[in-house]
Amino acid sequence: MGLINTGNTSTTTDTTTGIVQHMRKYAPRQGVLLLMAAGFVALFYGRVSTLEMDKIWGGFRSVSSYQWIMALLATAASFWAVGRYDAVVHKMMRNKVDTGTAHQAGIAGIAISQTLGMGVLTGALVRWRMLPDASLWQATRLSATVAASFLAGWAVVTGLALLMFAPDMLGGRMVALLPIVAALALVVASLLGSGTTVFGRQIKWPSLTTVFAILSLAAIDTIAAAIALYVLLPDVVALPLTTLYPAFLLALGAAMVSGTPGGVGPFEVTLLALLPSVNAEALLGAVLAYRVIYYAIPAVLATLLLARGPLQLAHQTVMLRTPDHSAQNALIQNAPFAEANLLRQGPKKVLYQISNTPLLLTSQTGQALVALRDPLLTRDGQRAVQTLAKAAKDQAKIACLYKCSARTALQARKNGFFVLPIAREAWVDPRSFTTTTPSHRQLRRKLRKAETASIVTTQPSTLPMTEMARISADWAIRSGGERGFSMGVFTPEFVQTQRCYLATQDGVLQGFITLNTCQAEWSLDLMRQTETAPDGTMHALLAHAISDAAKLDLPRLSLAAIPFEHSNRFLHKWMQSASASAGLKQFKSAFSPQWQTLYMAAPNRLQFALAGFDIAREITGKTNPTTGALVRHS
């Protein structure tokens, strides 16, 4: 797709119509900005009208070759950061554009739009040309998001620069603190929730990775741009960079708000107003050279890129998607762990390589791309870890492995990940399971109590879903809500895909359990009972399931996991509270299971902590006890 289309009248008409519509939309807004810019220039006209043009030109001609070279290098550094804005925003918007193409389109878009003015409109048209798979509307959204992201980053960087170098400029410290406080509020919002709803529209907070990337790029971009101007200043302008930088940022802000071509007018008069003791002609001579270096040359180079058109897009090597129904069922049945059934519940996706090989079951949190358990249909843990890291990077997320085995954790450690044990999974071999050994003494007592209370366990083909939903809702109220993410949440649609066992007393339903199943194992999921259910009810249900699994010659039945008992008591109590596992260890121990340590891994300790916080927030998100829908309290 490009700005010029040939051989197709309909396409050409659509293109022209789209451009006209955008012009109609943005022209009135740009007119207002131009009026504001004119008023701004008029306000300082008295200062500008007294300047001598010969001295300004003399300052321009006095720029040495060394100064030109240094300014070019600083401009190159600034435009490197400029192009990265687009790459970050593409990741945030989850556009399937490779980094090189995004970088190139971003540099061209900003180089031309900052020179011509009307940034969002001209930037959209350039990106539309440079991104062959983007519509004009998508390019406009991208340009608007890039502009808004830069403005936000500029505001925070400007606030910090004012506090550090010029606390009395522009009204003092309180004004400078406003964008910094707003950025901190965004960081907190990103940590505590994935988004919010405004007027019925869902707004997602950017991840911390995205926030810090924007702030870092804004700092690199503006510092390099200020250096490009600084090295062009003549000796008569005895101005330290720490003084120039805050004034430069504010002048840049005035230029951006005005929307004039190159910010001409508002940039200069703001700079002169904020630096009243500086020789005005010498300063403007340097600004004129700066406009050649930072505006004219990049615009010419970008025009050549625009004329050439987009590069061939790089092939995508990884992808996240939800498989269709038949592929999903086949994947779950052939998976090495029964928790693959979580693909049927919640926003879970499968991470594929381009060869269409399913690698990992994933879920996205506000900060992380989390792989649940081990690789799906391959034992190549190293490839799975590396692919997860690339997919996370493509989305500006933290790569995280959650509840993986020691084998996968070892591969993660070899790839530089920080690894920590987080859970112990109880499991039994149904084929050799028996209740007659001394280690099952407690289980036998519980089963006798259930038998004495006339508890009958069955595995029916038709489920009393209304009664089960009522029991689950009552249980959720008593327990403070259901846990989510990798833990069981009662929804009728999901429960009907599971293996269910019911416990009745005199024909009245007292409780039930559900198990996720695949060819390799069964795994205990939901355990729900009434407040008055007899002691031993859950034990009787699970014993029935183990007996059925033995008849089917199943090698493994998982009793699910409990938090790892860390030496750090605070960490252990926090994990226990997040998973609501108090009392579960005693229940599982009654079956004398084997225990397997499960691990969590992330690229470093900080990212491990952020991902862990995010996962804990997802797990403890309360659910509506009637519908089972997740209700996040953030």
CATH number for the domain spanning 371: value is 3.40.630
pLDDT in tens, 537-578: 999 999 999 999 999 999 999 999 988 876 556 555 655 555
CA atoms within 13 A on the CB side of 486: 27
Together in a domain, 273 and 341:
no
For residue 3, being part of any structural domain is answered with: no
Together in a domain, 243 and 215:
yes
Together in a domain, 399 and 534:
no
Together in a domain, 412 and 459:
no
Q: Which of 308, 333, 364 is the C-terminal boundary of a domain?
A: 308
H-state helical runs in 309-397 = 325-334, 381-394
CATH of the domain at 436: 3.40.630.30
pLDDT in tens, 44-96: 555 556 667 778 888 788 899 999 999 999 999 999 998 888 888 888 887 77
In the numeric block, the tokens 């050994």 are attached to 437
The helix/strand/coil state of 369 is: strand
For residue 370, being part of any structural domain is answered with: yes
CA–CA distance, 189 with 60 (Å, rounded to integer): 48
Residue 163 belongs to what domain range? Answer: 9-308
Q: At what angle do helices 136-165 and 208-230 cross, to 10 degrees?
A: 70
Closest CA to 345 of 513, 161, 495: 495
For residue 2, being part of any structural domain is answered with: no
Together in a domain, 504 and 619:
yes
Together in a domain, 232 and 252:
yes
pLDDT at position 93: 80
Pseudo-torsion of CA 509, 510, 516, 517, nearest 10°?
-60
Q: Which of 268, 283, 308 is the C-terminal boundary of a domain?
A: 308
In the numeric block, the tokens 């900005």 are attached to 33
Report the amino acid identity of residue 314: A
Enumerate residue ranges in the chain where pLDDT < 70.
1-51, 118-119, 170-172, 194-195, 197-200, 311-317, 354-355, 566-583, 621-634
Closest CA to 295 of 75, 102, 41: 75
Question: Which contacts qualify for 165-168: CB closer than 8 Å, 24 or more apart?
Answer: 165/242, 165/243, 165/245, 165/246, 166/243, 166/246, 166/247
Together in a domain, 614 and 473:
yes
pLDDT in tens, 94-103: 777 777 778 7
pTM, rounded to two decimals: 0.76
DSSP secondary structure, 395-426, as one string: TT-EEEEEEE-HHHHHHHHHTT-EEEEEEEEE
Together in a domain, 444 and 402:
no
CA–CA distance, 329 with 358 (Å, rounded to integer): 13
Q: Determine the longest span between alpha carbons in the chain, in angstroms.
A: 107
pLDDT at position 517: 95
In the numeric block, the tokens 């060819």 are attached to 519
Together in a domain, 413 and 433:
no
* CA distances in angstroms from 94 to 89, 109, 259, 407, listed in the order given: 8, 20, 28, 31
Report residue 613 as tokens.
């916080």
Together in a domain, 267 and 160:
yes
Radius of gyration of the chain, Cα coordinates, nearest whole angstrom: 31
Together in a domain, 354 and 255:
no
Number of domains in the chain: 3
For residue 152, being part of any structural domain is answered with: yes
Together in a domain, 32 and 169:
yes
Q: How far is CA 167 from the centre of its chain?
A: 34
Cβ(366)–Cβ(205) under 8 Å?
A: yes
